[in-house]
Amino acid sequence: MNLTYKIDQPVNAFDFTDLLNRSTLGERRPVDDPECMKGMVENTNLMITAWDGDLLVGVSRSVTDFHFACYLSDLAVDKTYQQSGIGKKLMQLTQQQLGSKCMLMLLSAPAANDYYPHVGFTNNPRCWVLDRDSSVQ
């Protein structure tokens, strides 16, 4: 496998959505909302991608200030390419773009919950989520 990794390579919403659907992440993202998907790729400020030729096979999409905190919003790898180190490499490249004291955080998909401790993440029970269809009361 001869993969190419790219930093901040523009990705269109169609290719991003297609990748999410080829990974397990499509089940938990608004892939049926093209406007939202377009906004997700256009408003991220750090995107690392993995390519097999012209095919997008992996993405690490983050929102960060590059100094204190980086929220890794999406880590997706095409199912046929999983278990080959692409996800780990995407996270390593993401971390390399951050300042030396910048923490990397994410919300794990249920199926991936056991993966993150193996690559160095620790669990933090203090995360709070307000769903898209909920309002602050």
pLDDT at 7: 97
| Contact predicate 70/46, CB 8 Å | yes
Q: Where are the beta strands (DSSP E) in 28-84?
A: 46-52, 55-64, 69-77
Sorted by where each starts, the structural domains of the chain and their CATH numbers stand as: 4-119 (3.40.630.30)
Residue 112: which pLDDT band, with cuts at 50, 70 and 90?
Answer: confident
Q: What is the mean pLDDT of the chain?
A: 94
pTM: 0.92
Token pair in block for residue 5: 């990794």
Over residues 96-116, mean pLDDT: 90
Instruction: Give the closest residue to 45 by CA, choosing from 92, 105, 97.
Output: 97
Contacts of 37 (CB under 8 A, 6+ apart): 13, 16, 17, 29, 30, 31
Phi-psi region of 37 (alpha: psi -120 to 50; beta: other; left: phi over 0): alpha
Which tens digit of pLDDT belongs to each residue from 55-101? 999 999 999 999 999 999 999 999 999 999 999 999 999 999 999 99
Q: State yes or no: pLDDT of 105 exceeds 90.
A: yes
